[in-house]
C-alpha cells in the first residue's frame, strides 16, 4: 500500500511498503534507469565520465560503451558516435558541472562522458539523462532533463539505503531523495521525496505548481512500482 503526504515547502513525499527485501527494492527503485518504465513517454539512461565508464575494446575503432539502445557509442578521441547518438555540441554544458559535461540541447553525453551498460549499477557522480516525448522510448528525440547522483549508498544490514539526486536542467531544477529500509522478512519500506521548479524563474513562483504536477506523477509512479514489485518484474530490461 502507499500513502502520499501533502506537499510541505513544495516537497512531495510518497511512502511504499513492498513485498521485496531491502536489497531487491533498492535495485528496483533507486536505479533511475528503471524510472522510464513508470514515467509516461520517457526513457532514462545513465552517463559516466569516460575515464571511469565500463568499456569494451574494439581493435578497429577503439573503445565503446553501450548507449540507451544497447548499441555502442564511441569514446571521444575515436570515431564519432553512430547516428542514434549524434555528437552533441559541447558549447552548452549543464550548469554546476565541470567541463566537459552533457550538453543541454542533446540527449546523449558530450565528449568526456559515456553511457553505462544496463548491468552496471549507478554510483555517485553519474548523470541521469531523461528524454520525454512521443517516441522517446523508441529512441526519438524529445525534452531532455538531467540529474546528478550526489549519493548512492545501498542498504546494508539494518542501515537503510539512501540515494540523492540534484536536478541540473535545462528545464527542471530541484532535488530528489530515495530511502529504502527493511521492514521484516521479505519486505521493505521505500520513501521517495522530491521537489521541482522551473529553471529560469524564481523557485517561489514555480515550486508550488511543480509540487502539484509532481504529486500526480509520483502517485502514478508509486502504483506502477507496486505492480512491478508484486509481479517480480525483471530489473533493467
Give residue 54's pLDDT: 53
Q: Which of 19-28, 71-80, 165-174 has the lowest mean pLDDT?
A: 71-80
Look up the CATH number of domain 1-30+154-237.
Answer: 3.30.530
Contact 135, 146 (CB under 8 A): no
**What Cα–Cα distance (Å) separates residue 84 from each residue in 64, 75, 108, 114, 139?**
14, 15, 9, 14, 7
Give residue 233's pLDDT: 61
User: Could you tell me the pLDDT band of residue 139, with boundaries at 50, 70 and 90?
Assistant: confident
Give residue 236's pLDDT: 58
Q: What is the mean pLDDT of the chain?
A: 77
Give the whole-angstrom CA distance, residue 110 versus residue 199: 21
Preceding omega of 43 cis (within 30 degrees of 0):
no
Give residue 105's pLDDT: 45
Contact 188, 28 (CB under 8 A): no
**What Cα–Cα distance (Å) separates residue 204 from each residue in 127, 200, 209, 213?**
26, 12, 10, 15
pLDDT in tens, 155-193: 999 999 999 999 998 888 999 999 999 999 999 999 999
* Cβ atoms within 10 Å, residue 1: 8
What residue spans in the chain does CATH classification 3.30.530 cover? 1-30+154-237
Q: Which three cell numbers stand for residue 157?
A: 544490514
Q: Which three cell numbers stand for residue 91?
A: 558549447
Q: Give me Rg for the CA atoms of the chain.
A: 18
Amino acid at each position: 500500500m502507499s500513502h502520499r503526504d501533502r506537499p510541505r515547502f513544495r516537497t512531495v513525499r510518497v511512502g511504499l511498503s513492498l513485498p521485496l527485501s531491502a536489497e531487491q527494492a533498492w535495485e528496483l527503485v533507486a536505479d533511475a534507469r528503471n524510472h522510464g518504465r513508470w514515467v509516461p513517454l520517457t526513457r532514462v539512461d545513465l552517463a559516466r565520465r569516460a575515464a571511469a565508464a565500463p568499456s569494451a575494446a574494439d581493435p578497429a575503432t577503439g573503445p565503446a560503451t553501450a548507449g540507451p539502445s544497447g548499441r555502442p557509442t564511441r569514446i571521444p578521441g575515436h570515431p564519432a558516435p553512430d547516428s542514434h547518438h549524434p555528437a552533441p555540441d559541447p558549447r552548452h554544458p549543464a550548469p554546476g558541472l565541470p567541463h566537459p559535461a552533457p550538453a543541454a540541447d542533446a540527449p546523449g553525453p558530450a565528449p568526456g562522458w559515456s553511457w553505462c551498460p544496463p548491468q552496471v549499477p549507478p554510483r555517485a557522480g553519474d548523470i541521469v539523462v531523461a528524454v520525454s516525448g512521443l517516441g522517446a522510448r523508441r529512441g526519438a528525440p524529445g525534452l531532455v532533463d538531467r540529474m546528478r547522483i550526489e549519493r548512492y549508498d545501498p542498504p546494508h544490514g539494518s542501515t537503510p539505503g539512501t540515494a540523492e539526486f540534484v536536478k541540473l536542467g535545462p528545464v527542471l531544477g530541484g532535488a530528489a531523495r530515495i530511502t529504502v529500509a527493511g521492514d521484516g522478512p521479505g519486505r521493505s519500506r521505500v520513501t521517495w521525496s522530491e521537489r521541482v521548479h522551473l529553471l529560469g524563474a524564481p523557485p517561489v513562483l514555480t515550486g508550488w505548481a511543480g509540487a502539484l504536477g509532481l504529486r500526480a506523477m509520483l502517485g502514478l509512479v508509486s502504483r506502477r512500482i507496486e505492480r512491478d514489485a508484486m509481479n517480480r518484474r525483471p530489473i533493467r530490461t
